[in-house]
Amino acid sequence: MTTKLKSFLPLLGIAALAIALLVVAPAVLSDLRLNNLAKYCCWAMVAVGIGLAWGRGGMLVMGQGVFFALGAYAMGMHMQLESVGDGGIPTFMILYDPLAPLPAFWEPFRSGAFTIAMIVVAPVVVASILGFAIFKRRVKGAYFAILTQALAVALATLISGTIKYTGGDTGLSGFTSFFGYTLDDPLNRRLIFTITATLLVGCLVVAWQLYRSRFGELLVATRDAEERVRFLGYDPANIKLVAFVVAAVMASIGGAMFVPIVGIMAPKSMDAAASIFFIAGVALGGRAALFGPVLGALAVGYGQSTLSEQWPGTWIYVLGLLFIVVTIALPGGIASLATRGAGLLARLRSSDRKAASA
Amino acid sequence: MTERHLHPDALLVRDLSVSFDGFKAVSGVDVSFAPGELHFLIGPNGAGKTTLVDALTGLVKGTGSASYGGKELLGLRSHKIVRAGVGRTFQTATVFDQLTVLQNLDIAAGLHRPAWRLAFARHGVPAAVDEALEKIGLSDLRHKPAGVLAHGQKQWLEIGMLLVQDARVMFLDETVAGMSADERAETGELLRRIGRERTIVVIEHDMDFVRNHADVVTVMHAGKVLAEGSVAEIQANEAVQEVYLGRTAKGNVHA
Amino acid sequence: MFKSRNRMLSVTAAALTTGLILSSCGGATTKDAAPTAAPKSCVDTSGDTVKLGFLNSLTGGMAISEKTVSKTLHMAADEINASGGILGKKIVPIQEDGATDWPTFAEKEEKLLTKDCVAATFGGWTSSSRKAVKPVVEKYNGLFFYPVQYEGLESSKNIYYTGATTNQQIIPAMDFLKAQGVKTLFLAGSDYVFPRTANAIIKLYAAKLGIKIVGEEYVPLDKADWTTQVAKIVKAKPDFVFNTINGSSNVGFVKAYYDAGLSPKTTPIISVSIAEEEAPAMGHDVSGNYASWNYFESIKSPANAKFIADWKKYPGNSGVTSDPMEAAYDSLYLYKELVEKAGSFDVDKINAAAKKYKITFNAPEGLITLDGENHHISKVANIGQIQPDNQFKIVWSSGTPIAPDPYLKGYDWFPAATRDALVKAAG
Amino acid sequence: MDSLIAPFLNGTADGALLLIAALGLALTFGQMGVINMAHGEFLLAGALTAYVTQQVIASTDLSILLALPIAFVVAGALGVVLEATVIRWMYERPLDTLLATVGVAMILRQFVLDAFPSQGVGVVTPDWLDHQIDVFGYAWPLRQLFTILLAGACLSALAALLKFTSFGRQIRATVQNRALAETLGVSTRMVDRITFFVGSGLAGVAGVAISLIAATDSTLGTKYIVAAFLVVVAGGLGQLKGTIIAAWVVGVSTAFFTDWTTGSIAQVIVFVLVVIFLQVRPQGLFTVRTRGLA
């Protein structure tokens, strides 16, 4: 019974985070800081997925930028078309041929419903195909990491190299409205923040449920002894695939919300460096803990903003040093501080008791 | 080696060979494993015992045939073989250290559940898991992470996992190696208890254990079946004595 | 004790209600008739200082170019402060790092405008950074001064473009080539918006001039090696190579060019992003090749002599001066001129002054004049030939300043349909 | 004919460059499992060494040759420092080295940006390299032949080191079974450190070669690091011959695809092909076989 209650304890944490994000933050933060927080929340969504795939499933996904881009570009294309109005084509396309019809793959993104569907469906399809091939062929470890990173580079280069269709390296920008709401209105930006934060909380709830479910146990089992899982009658490929796909969807949703928040989507936000940046937050926070990835991503985002405001030009030394020190000193990330602290406390207490009884 | 192969639920191995880069680790093995018997596989190191089991459980590729319940096992992937009712343990006990004893058993029991139920947390302890905990004597340790268990307890846990996954054929690889005398006796008892309606095949070096518990012994040497029969028959077999004579110095076999 | 709890409760309740309202109804939709007014400016210039924001990449890949621009802005601010400031107020520069990351540019611009409440912002380099800043500066009705030559076809009431637009750099370069009797031209560029746009324009104009384009190659921005593409140049034997490559990929191009045995004697290059700073980093004597800019360090004028001398004294200077640096330097002086003509730091008043008065500055490159309508600058176009000391000798000049024409309205060979569509899209 | 010759030769030279850059990784990543994201910055260190050498020794004809061993030592020393301060804490968790070395790479890049002219520095090609060789009508840059020879030299030296010296045997023993190697009296700490020295040193040599074809500025490393890792992985960990073939194939196919399409699309195609290849041969071209469950 107590263990059952214990498994609900994280819900309290999630609730606390939800209150902090949805109630406290809008009340105390300026529009600027709230918008920054919204951006970090997008990264945090990606991070929750990485926590699932890497922390729990042992798959170092170094190319989450691919899925981030799927969501972001779906959203970006929709918002771009919404901004140019019925029948218009994006500004960057006019130069090449003002009368050219919209490329066929853009056309359906005029529909908001289609866009929202694609934000979820596209990563599911892509991750399933990729993951099926990768996991069935038992590609893992560093091979898997480098392979996914190569995909992020390939996609970033593809986008840069197809400037006529994607806006290339400069990306998509100049959005004016988000599903009919003008982006300039501060109230609407708060609305977007609320949606983003809610989605993040949703991702956390999904992660929490997956972690406590039998699937979660099986995923950890697969991480620690993949071949052994086979002898339980499961194909580890399928277990990893599910985690990979869920992580991909979270990255895609994060990417989709990123676009209305920052107002520009370019390959730079999803290339190899960006993908490593996603991982950095997760590692910093603690990859296997439920809250580790979220807190890590929020911390890295916040750290980047504040450090660079404090020391423009030299902040990168501080951030770099932080990465080094945390990896060396705290293998379990910041989240492990909590368990370490608890362990220390318990030891202190027991020694107190001993002392008292002596 | 009589009518065992006629048993309707027997696992029949015919002409099974395994080769690594031209080296024949197992060659042309014919053997049948039937329910209700404790069947021991013995033989010197490198005789091909583990490789035989590896081939039967999909870990290495083998040629020939191995049929169980009307299914050909060779060529199936490991997890399919497990789903066909054939399970195994490993020389070095492989349990999931981070998970508790209960969780280990619970995920092992999972293959009989529909896949979508995986999305939900465990509610209560399934009857089969409780029963298995009882049988392997780990009920008190159910909430301990498997990583802290003693060596013997891990082996029992592995057997328990086979029980909950309801393996009809169990291959146990050197289960009692490194166990204390008491633990061995307990393990023997356990195998007897669960072996009544199952096919249990044990790879073993400890001849005392073999003598005390074996119904049938198959001796392997250099990838081939050397002899098969009761403990007494095997001990009387000249070929077996010859193979083991060179090894008596090591104290492995002392009649 | 009770009191504080009460306050806590009411704050929570208020926040909850706000959250509910937000998620249930949201703000203005695009269907709403009245456009939402820009948030009220928080700029406070009542004291004897004025805050200005400098937004450059000091870290990341673009820092190689933007760090110098940042330093130049600081130098200009120091100079203006030394001579009494703007409207008598001393400039307090606030530096932010764009970190070669476009969302960061947007974030920092918003921070500068709403938290630091700066009166104007200066910086950016890549088109992406400008496009990231544009919606922010428009939303808050701020000011952004962009100092780099770019692909044109853009305008904003909140951005002043102090570098060249295409008709002040690309088109004069084509006129120069025509005057040289060039018949065939090879286009080499980065796979990026500026080279793509520039080359689209070059191709249109070349057709009119009767210059034949014998090849067109693009390489990704982060790819160094040009050997395979240069082999194509060798084969095509053009009279000239028009180089629109951005940033450090220029080095790979130039090295591959000399590696392949090409030289300015047979196949000279004309570049639009190699200046005094970049030339020595090429790792080869590039003398004999050409570049099209508005400013060269070799321009003889008192203003330029002072600019160069000041720069060489400035701590952390890069030794030489270059066009983007000079455009950044000018931008601060143009801003000072605008404010003082408007008599106010208010953006709307500044924009009105830009239209009403003739805003000029005796810049190192010569007298420049602001176009109050399109927020670009009239500039003299110059072609310089690189000398062994990596300075440029001016071999051709438009003579008089060319009026900025970002939409190429005055060029009949530019398709009207494209222009109209672009102007319409810009609103 | 010459339309095939040019991409083939260019691609081979690019492949050779990629190979030198990847050789060091094949050691530190392939043999030790360390994901050193700062390897790219070690390339940069080599390139900067070439520049500094040129400042000190006026004769560019000589300085580039001198720069090769100096760059090896400079980058190697950086590698040893990295190993001794950061990597050594993480041999039990090699994937974690990724994040720590990303931090190191960030710091090194910014340091170069701040300490050297931010626009980058020019490494001058010596006159004796400024020629072309006629190959079936294609004026092949001599510099490319130099790169290929340099790759050959690095490769031979490394292969000889691994095969014929006792140190080489110690490396292989450590890689195959660290615990066993220790009981046999191999100082695995020393082996780790020397492996890192050699691997990083090779990056320095590659950096000198790169300085002859590309910009020597803070972004140099990031341009090569991903491709280098990909080559090592596609070749198969722990196998030099795999790395060689992979580097050559990547170089030549990139050159041909560049010839037929554009530079961007070529890069996309090659990366995707390698990814597909890795799904067909998930352990790369060649692998060291191991027995056992995991």
Instruction: Name chain C contacts of D124, Cβ cutoff 8 Å.
Output: 283-284
Which of A153-162, B220-229, C3-12, D162-171 has the lowest average pLDDT?
Answer: C3-12
In this structure, are C171 and C161 located in the same domain?
no
In this structure, are C220 and C250 located in the same domain?
yes
Please report whether residue C348 resides in a domain.
Answer: yes
> Does C174 contact D at CB distance below 8 Å?
no
Question: How many angstroms separate the Cα of C82 from the Cα of each of A85, C90, C91?
Answer: 50, 9, 10
Output the pLDDT for position A313: 87
Check pLDDT > 70 for residue B252: no
Instruction: Name chain A contacts of C195, Cβ cutoff 8 Å.
Output: none
SS3 for C148-161, per residue? Answer: CCCCCCCCCCCEEE
Output the pLDDT for position D205: 97
Q: In chain B, which ranges are continuous DSSP H helix?
A: 49-56, 78-83, 101-108, 127-136, 151-164, 181-194, 207-213, 231-236, 238-248
SS3 B220: strand
- Please judge whether D122 and C255 are an interchain contact, meaning their C-beta atoms are less than 8 angstroms apart: no
**β-strands D132-135, D138-141 pairing:** antiparallel
The span from the CA of A291 to the CA of A288, in Å, is: 9
> Does C110 contact A at CB distance below 8 Å?
yes
Chain A closest-CA separation from residue C371 CA (Å): 24
User: Which of C30, C196, C418 is closest, CB to CB, to A98?
Assistant: C418
Compute the mean pLDDT over every residue in chain C, rounded to the nearest whole number: 90
Check pLDDT > 70 for residue C20: no
H or E element at residue C207 = helix C193-209
Instruction: Name chain C contacts of A269, Cβ cutoff 8 Å.
Output: 101-103
Structure confidence by residue, pLDDT tens digits, C380-406: 999 999 999 999 999 999 999 999 999
Please report whether residue C9 resides in a domain.
Answer: no
Output the pLDDT for position C111: 96
The span from the CA of A231 to the CA of B108, in Å, is: 9
ipTM of the complex: 0.89
User: Which of A142, A162, A331 is closest, CB to CB, to D35?
Assistant: A142
Taking the domains of chain B in order of start, what are their residue ranges?
A: 4-92+167-248
Chains C and D touch (3+ CB pairs under 8 A): yes
DSSP D243-280: HHHHHHHHHHHHHHHHHHS-HHHHHHHHHHHHHHHHHH
Chain A closest-CA separation from residue C9 CA (Å): 12
Could you confirm whether domain B4-92+167-248 is CATH 3.40.50.300?
Answer: yes
Check pLDDT > 60 for residue A1: no
How many percent of chain D have pLDDT more than 90?
Answer: 58
Output the pLDDT for position C9: 40
Instruction: Name chain D contacts of A151, Cβ cutoff 8 Å.
Output: 271-272, 275
Structure confidence by residue, pLDDT tens digits, B145-185: 998 998 888 989 999 999 998 899 999 988 888 888 888 88
> Does D60 contact C at CB distance below 8 Å?
no
Output the pLDDT for position C288: 96
The span from the CA of C363 to the CA of D79, in Å, is: 49
- Please judge whether D141 and C227 are an interchain contact, meaning their C-beta atoms are less than 8 angstroms apart: yes
Residue D140 phi, psi dihedral angles, 5° rounding = -80, 125
For residues A246 and A346, the model is more confident at A246
What is the band of B37 on the pLDDT scale with cuts at 50, 70, 90?
Answer: confident
Instruction: Name chain D contacts of A241, Cβ cutoff 8 Å.
Output: none
Chosen for mutation from A126, A143, A287, A326 (greatest number of chain D CBs closer than 10 Å) is A143
| Residues of D (254-293) whose Cβ lies below 8 Å from B | 293
Please report whether residue C8 resides in a domain.
Answer: no
Check pLDDT > 90 for residue A226: no
User: Which of A214, A225, A234 is closest, CB to CB, to B120?
Assistant: A214
Nearest Cα residue to B135 out of B165, B151, B156: B156
Chosen for mutation from D8, D63, D217, D219 (greatest number of chain C CBs closer than 10 Å) is D219
Structure confidence by residue, pLDDT tens digits, C134-166: 999 999 999 999 999 999 989 899 999 999 999
Chain C closest-CA separation from residue A222 CA (Å): 37
Output the pLDDT for position A4: 61
Give the mean pLDDT of A33-39: 96
Q: How many B×D Cβ pairs under 8 Å? A: 3
CB A41 within 8 A of CB A253: no
> Does C399 contact A at CB distance below 8 Å?
no
The two tokens of residue C103 are 């969302």
Give the mean pLDDT of A205-232: 91
In this structure, are C316 and C257 located in the same domain?
no
SS3 C91: strand
Structure confidence by residue, pLDDT tens digits, D114-160: 999 888 999 998 989 989 999 988 889 999 999 999 999 999 999 99
Nearest Cα residue to C380 out of C401, C404, C406: C401
Give the mean pLDDT of D182-187: 83
The span from the CA of B178 to the CA of B174, in Å, is: 9
The span from the CA of B72 to the CA of B66, in Å, is: 6
Check pLDDT > 90 for residue A19: yes
> Does D217 contact C at CB distance below 8 Å?
yes
Output the pLDDT for position C3: 40
Q: How many A×D Cβ pairs under 8 Å? A: 132
What is the band of C38 on the pLDDT scale with cuts at 50, 70, 90?
Answer: low
Output the pLDDT for position D61: 85
For residues B238 and D75, the model is more confident at D75
CB D248 within 8 A of CB D159: no
> Does D294 contact B at CB distance below 8 Å?
no
Our separate counts of H helices and E strands in chain B read 9, 10
> Does B107 contact A at CB distance below 8 Å?
yes
CATH of the domain at C69: 3.40.50.2300
Instruction: Name chain D contacts of B50, Cβ cutoff 8 Å.
Output: none
What is the band of A358 on the pLDDT scale with cuts at 50, 70, 90?
Answer: very low
Q: How many C×D Cβ pairs under 8 Å? A: 137
State the pTM of this model: 0.91
Which chain A residue is nearest to residue D92, measuring alpha carbons? A331
Check pLDDT > 50 for residue A209: yes
> Does C101 contact A at CB distance below 8 Å?
yes
Output the pLDDT for position D291: 34
Nearest Cα residue to A71 out of A112, A108, A33, A116: A116
- Please judge whether A320 and D263 are an interchain contact, meaning their C-beta atoms are less than 8 angstroms apart: no
What is the band of D91 on the pLDDT scale with cuts at 50, 70, 90?
Answer: confident
User: Which of D107, D262, D263 is closest, CB to CB, to A321?
Assistant: D107
How many percent of chain A have pLDDT more than 90?
Answer: 68
Please report whether residue C161 resides in a domain.
Answer: yes
> Does B117 contact A at CB distance below 8 Å?
yes
Our separate counts of H helices and E strands in chain C read 12, 15
Chain D closest-CA separation from residue A232 CA (Å): 15
Structure confidence by residue, pLDDT tens digits, C193-208: 899 999 999 999 999 9
> Does A323 contact D at CB distance below 8 Å?
yes
Please report whether residue C413 resides in a domain.
Answer: yes
Chain D closest-CA separation from residue B21 CA (Å): 11
The span from the CA of D75 to the CA of D202, in Å, is: 8
Check pLDDT > 50 for residue C108: yes
Chain D closest-CA separation from residue A25 CA (Å): 30
| Cβ neighbours for A241, distance < 8 A, ≥ 6 positions apart | A127, A128, A131, A132, A135
Total structural domains within chain C: 2
Output the pLDDT for position A332: 82
- Please judge whether A319 and D106 are an interchain contact, meaning their C-beta atoms are less than 8 angstroms apart: yes
Instruction: Name chain C contacts of D271, Cβ cutoff 8 Å.
Output: none
| Cβ neighbours for B29, distance < 8 A, ≥ 6 positions apart | B13, B15, B16, B17, B48, B52, B64, B220, B223, B224, B225
Please report whether residue C28 resides in a domain.
Answer: no
What is the band of B46 on the pLDDT scale with cuts at 50, 70, 90?
Answer: confident
In this structure, are C401 and C289 located in the same domain?
yes
Instruction: Name chain B contacts of A220, Cβ cutoff 8 Å.
Output: 96, 98-99
Q: Which structural domain, as residue segments, surrounds residue C77? A: 49-165+301-379
The two tokens of residue C168 are 């002040």
Chains C and B touch (3+ CB pairs under 8 A): no
DSSP B130-182: HHHHHHHT-GGGTTSBGGGS-HHHHHHHHHHHHHHTT-SEEEEESTTTT--HH
Chains A and C touch (3+ CB pairs under 8 A): yes
Please report whether residue C10 resides in a domain.
Answer: no
Structure confidence by residue, pLDDT tens digits, A304-319: 999 999 999 899 999 9
Instruction: Name chain A contacts of B79, Cβ cutoff 8 Å.
Output: 229-235
User: Which of C59, C64, C191 is closest, CB to CB, to D263?
Assistant: C191
- Please judge whether C219 and D264 are an interchain contact, meaning their C-beta atoms are less than 8 angstroms apart: yes
